[in-house]
Chains A and B, each alone.
Chain A
Amino acid sequence: MNDFLTVIWKELRELRSLQGTRPGLLRLGIVVGLFGVVLPLQHGPAWVVSPASMFVIGWLALFLTGTVIPDTFAGERERHTLETLLSMPLSDRAILAGKTTTGVLYGWSLAIVAYVLSIVALSQHGGQGWILPRPLFAIGAVTMGFLGAWLSAGVGVLVSLRAATARQAYQTLNISFLLIILVPTLGFPLLPVSWRRAATAGLAGVDDRILLLVLLCFLFLVDIAIAFAASRRFQRARLILD
């Protein structure tokens, strides 16, 4: 546990030194302000009360985690600190879990801040009391944010373990996410009409709680599989010789 907390401590210090600068804070302010104030006010209460809010928070957490996670191993390799890190008495699991957790905490917490901010902004703007999402959607948004951040961290770590430089890791991760988003978006209209109708009808008939649970379980399993793949890929000798 000490190893795990030590890695998180170091990663948070590095994040602070990177994001704590004026340009870093400005970038964060713009993203949180955009998703916490500007877009909610443009879209109105639907931003927080519709089921889409869960996906927005999930995507935001995924995106924010993706801005820091590729640097974890590829950045260390590029800055020649990886071998020193690996020569320290820290367990493999602690290094991997510490880096992943820091990325998740970063993306998830900022996404939650933006979510809370959107509720406050819409409520203040409307002037008719609090505009609150259904508890199911609120829980769904928070969970989706966590799983989205975890997905991004898992894929990002896998990419980062292989990449020679942080830039290469960022590019590969962006392409991966583009494919994840584009394949279903472009692929669904290509399905036969009868299949699409059946899918839509089938989904319409399902209780939204069940649908949400299935979706979250699916994401959870994907996250677990990716975390397992990352732990298999993480080998000190391989990382050094790469």
Chain B
Amino acid sequence: MQAIIMDQVTRDFGPTRALDHLNIEVPAGIVFGFLGPNGAGKTTTIRILLGLIEPTQGRAQVLGHDTRTGSDWIRHHAGALLEHHGLYERLSAEDNLMFCARAHGLSRGEARSRIRELLDGLNLWERRHEAVGGWSRGMKQKLAVARALLPRPALVFLDEPTAGLDPLASASLREVLADLAAREGVTVFLTTHNLAEAEKLCARVAVIRSGRLVAVGPPDELRARREGARVEVRGRGFEEAVLAEVARLPEVAGAEVVGDVLQVDLVEAGARFAPVVRALVGLGVEVEEVCRVHASLEEVFVSLMEETEA
């Protein structure tokens, strides 16, 4: 079953096209990463999926409901942590969560036990009466995540939940997210700039740029498309003339020396490297070690951005 279906969704703001015929399907029960540079259209996508704004063309379905006609139902069954944490800083943590619980129609008893469960899980229960304005950014983000999960939503939107956090707080929040998402069994739609985070958390990712879908699939699959496209050669004798010769080989897209390592980009992931090694030896290079580089999601992302720019 698909939690989200976006079919040719386009959104214009005056002359600017924020989303351009976007097609995405998000299976239920997974963490789905939505990646893209600033201004790619991530926040606009979430706003459309929550029914806060309408697409100019195309249609989107969330949990089987059209975002145009079923926005109230969607907001009732989806949690959201948007670009800003959106907490009422003058109110206590408990009041912030109670407001959300009341808005979702939870009974008083149900709300209290759910708030306790979530705050306990985040080690915030002892501080529930404090106004959240005095809290650190990490604690506020945790509380905002708790608010998004409070009504036990089937789907939760998290818009850059670790943005602006220090590495420790990010790691802690990631742990909380992974743990809560696994325990609650919800579908998580996560936008992030942190590709290592997406790699760790997401079962599938989509990459967009300028409102267009660039790639979609499991992180392993995206990495596999670039896997082996770069080879590193350790050794001695990487002179300018050698580099120029290597760059002329039909299997090679580019070569550069970083420290005592020659990095060779092949024209395609499956290209043979043996002719390159033969050529290097023939040019007098002392080859000590040759290995194919495993691409990270970040490298995949950067290369996708470069490809689309080209």
* Chain A interfacial positions (CB closer than 8 Å to B): 2-3, 6, 9-10, 13-14, 17-18, 79-81, 83-91, 236-237, 240-241
Among listed B22-30, B100-108, B166-174, B195-203, interface-contacting one:
B100-108
Contact B84 A80 (CB under 8 A): yes
Closest to A88 in B: B103
Q: Digit string of B1-34 for contact with A (CB within 8 Å is 1, else 0)?
A: 0000000000001000000000000000000000
B133 to chain A, nearest CB (A): 9
Contact B103 A81 (CB under 8 A): no
User: Known: A17-B131, A89-B72. Is A9-B52 also a contact (CB below 8 A)?
Assistant: no
B73 to chain A, nearest CB (A): 8
Interface residues of B toward A: which range? Answer: 20 to 34
B193 to chain A, nearest CB (A): 19
User: Known: A13-B95, A80-B84, A84-B82. Is A91-B103 also a contact (CB below 8 A)?
Assistant: no
Among listed B58-66, B86-94, B116-124, B252-260, interface-contacting one:
B86-94
Contact B88 A81 (CB under 8 A): yes
Contact B75 A88 (CB under 8 A): yes
A19 to chain B, nearest CB (A): 11
Contact A87 B102 (CB under 8 A): no
Closest to A21 in B: B90
Contact A237 B54 (CB under 8 A): yes
Interface of B is mostly: loop
* Chain B interfacial positions (CB closer than 8 Å to A): 13, 47, 50, 52-54, 72, 75-76, 80, 82-91, 95, 99-100, 102-105, 131
B86 to chain A, nearest CB (A): 3
| Residues in B neighbouring A241, C-beta threshold 8 A | 13, 53
Give Cα A208 to B105, complex, Å: 49
Give Cα A84 to B78, complex, Å: 12
| Residues in A neighbouring B131, C-beta threshold 8 A | 17
| Residues in B neighbouring A91, C-beta threshold 8 A | 72
Contact B90 A90 (CB under 8 A): no
User: Known: A13-B95, A237-B52. Is A84-B102 also a contact (CB below 8 A)?
Assistant: no
User: Known: A84-B80, A87-B80. Is A14-B90 also a contact (CB below 8 A)?
Assistant: yes
| Residues in A neighbouring B91, C-beta threshold 8 A | 10, 13-14, 17
Contact B102 A6 (CB under 8 A): yes
Give Cα A18 to B53, complex, Å: 32
B289 to chain A, nearest CB (A): 52
Give Cα A173 to B95, complex, Å: 30
| Residues in B neighbouring A13, C-beta threshold 8 A | 88, 91, 95, 99
Interface centre among B54, B82, B84, B99 (most CB of A within 10 A): B99
Contact B53 A85 (CB under 8 A): no
Closest to A84 in B: B86
A235 to chain B, nearest CB (A): 10
Contact A87 B90 (CB under 8 A): no
Contact B75 A89 (CB under 8 A): yes
Closest to B46 in A: A87
Q: Could you name 24 residue pairs across A and B whose Cβ atoms are closer than 8 Å?
A: A2-B102, A6-B102, A9-B102, A10-B91, A10-B95, A13-B88, A13-B99, A17-B90, A18-B90, A79-B88, A79-B89, A80-B85, A84-B80, A84-B82, A84-B87, A87-B50, A87-B75, A88-B103, A90-B103, A236-B53, A237-B53, A237-B54, A240-B47, A241-B53
